[in-house]
Amino acid sequence: MSSSVSLPVSIASAGCVSPLGLDMPETAESLRKGTSGIGPVRLFSVEGCQCRTAGQVDDRLSGRAAEIAPRSRRWSRAAQMVLVAMAEALQGSRGFRPDVVVIGTTSGGMSLGEEFFRALASRQGVAHATRRVRNYVPHQPIIQALQVFGIDAPVRIISNACASGSNALGVARQLIRDGAARRVLAGGYDAIAELVFAGFDCLKASTPEICRPFDALRSGLALGEGAAMFCLQPGDAEVQITGYGSAIDTHHLTQPHPSGRGPEQAMQAALHDARLSAGDVDYVNAHGTGTPLNDSSEGRAILNLCPTVPVSSTKSMTGHALGAAGVIEAAFSLLALKDQFLPPNINFRQGDADLPLNIVDTSRPAKLRNVLSNSFGFGGSNASLILSLK
């Protein structure tokens, strides 16, 4: 069914699990305090790696998940994160039954892939590991969580690198606006895995120091993990997703176009979709990974559009959650709008002369109505969202 009149898309409720907390209230407090959720890796050995830190979800995760569903103790960390975030979102919007579920992830974590490659190396248990990899599907953690709540709805997975989560929210919004669905459960998840951690370390994309996005001395990203879920429906709730834009620049497999043309096109498309001008944006939650090339590309795009707007990268506190980053940062943007404050870009000490951005280095109150949230990924996949306070 389609509609000739675009419907407003409201956020009925949301849930979030990240290195800053296991729910939205914990997360809001950590954001206001500028708490760092990045620390020494404790989930696996990092001996031999240049980088030895990451943003990891609190060890209370398993217990919190077990309170919701005792059988979840046997689930993967990714599935436990999804369960906890989904439970908070559904509790905040009682009676919410989605017509469809749209999820962004890069794969949810590569624990099964790790098992497979270890089996190959040791030549033990290869057949068992092969079966597990062959039968694994990225929506498995979502299905497990939905079954706990008795929800039987089709699941659509979007996986286009680090823009996955934002694109999931954008697609969900479009389904509602077009009248193709009345209620959509949208979100994303990714869990840190040793295989992925080692891969980024080999690429020299990870920093052996601290993650300091947009700083002149930035030297790389820190990986993170988490999940966030949004209950979306038509209506005039307090906060709406008013804009979504995507763009592909296809410049390089891993490097963004130095001009920032892809990010700028995504942001312009989101503004056009929201029927806003660049001057209407009150805060940009930047993709801001902390890598020299990524921050330079995004910074140029922001300067071209809205050079004086306050900007921060909350990845300085959480690390980069890959496919989940966009939805987690959309949850942070939602909290910023509701509580009227600017989340900080911690560890920022020295401005980059080539990127004279208005960096928010400490949390502070602010009057916010429109927040722009960016997510940019490998292969030139770019997505931007606009959340607005009504």
> Which residue has 């500028």 as its token pair?
34
**Residue 162 catalytic?**
yes
Q: Which of 16, 51, 231, 287 is catalytic?
A: 287
- Asked if the model's pLDDT at residue 206 lies above 90, the reply is yes
If you search the block for the tokens 């944006």, which residue do you land on? 281
Residue 252: CB atoms within 10 Å: 13
CB burial of 318-346 (b: ≥16 within 10 Å; e: otherwise) equals: bbbbbbbbbbbbbbbbbbbbeeebbbbbb
Q: Residues of the chain with pLDDT > 70: what percent? A: 97
* Res. 128 pLDDT band, cuts 50 70 90: confident
Q: Is residue 358 over pLDDT 60?
A: yes
Looking at residue 26, its pLDDT comes to 98
Q: How confident is the model at residue 2 (pLDDT cuts 50, 70, 90)?
A: very low
C-alpha to C-alpha distance for 368 and 294, rounded to whole angstroms: 26
Q: Assign 257 a pLDDT band (cuts: 50, 70, 90).
A: confident
- Mean pLDDT for 12-22 is 98
**pLDDT score at 4:** 40
Q: In the prediction, which pLDDT does 254 show?
A: 65
Domain 9-389 fold is: Peroxisomal Thiolase; Chain A, domain 1 (3.40.47)
Q: What pLDDT, on a 0 to 100 scale, did the predictor assign at position 300?
A: 96
Catalytic residue among 51, 162, 231, 306: 162
- Residue 189 pLDDT > 50, yes or no? yes
C-beta of residue 221 within 8 angstroms of C-beta of residue 290: yes
Residue 49 annotated as catalytic: no
Note the pLDDT tens digit of each residue in 218-247: 999 999 999 999 999 999 889 999 999 999
Is the pLDDT at 287 greater than 60? The verdict is yes
In angstroms, what CA-CA distances link 339 with 95, 119, 316? Answer: 26, 49, 20
Specify the DSSP element, H or E, that contains 131: helix 126-135
139 labelled catalytic? no
Q: Residues 44-70: pLDDT tens digits?
A: 999 999 999 999 999 999 999 999 999
Mean pLDDT computed over 348-362: 97
Q: In whole angstroms, how far apart are CA 128 and each of 107, 110, 121, 125?
A: 20, 16, 14, 5
Residue type, 331: A
Which pLDDT score is estimated for 250?
76
Domains of the chain: which residue ranges? 9-389
Structure tokens at 44: 């696996």
Where are any strands of DSSP class E within the chain? 9-17, 38-40, 53-55, 100-104, 155-158, 184-190, 226-234, 239-248, 283-285, 310-312, 341-342, 358-359, 364-365, 370-377, 381-389
Q: What is d(CA 125, CA 120) in angstroms, rounded to the nearest whole number?
A: 8
- Helices of type H across 229-318: 261-274, 292-305, 315-318
The pLDDT value recorded for residue 138 is: 80
Determine the average pLDDT of the residues in 328-356.
97
The number of residues making up the chain comes to: 390
pLDDT tens digit string along 146-169? 999 999 999 999 999 899 999 999
pLDDT at 253: 65
Burial of 180 (0-12, 13-18, 19+ CB in 10 A): middle
At residue 119, the pLDDT reads 83
Residue 135's pLDDT is what? Answer: 67
Going by pLDDT thresholds of 50, 70 and 90, the confidence category of residue 208 is very high
When pLDDT is averaged across residues 172-186 and rounded to a whole number, the result is 96
Q: pLDDT band at residue 264, thresholds of 50, 70 and 90? A: very high
231, 257, 306, 320: the catalytic one is 320
Positive or negative torsion for Cα 13, 18, 20, 26: positive
Confidence of residue 375 (pLDDT cuts 50, 70, 90): very high
Give the least confident one: 83-87, 121-125, 205-209.
121-125
Mean residue pLDDT of the chain comes to: 93
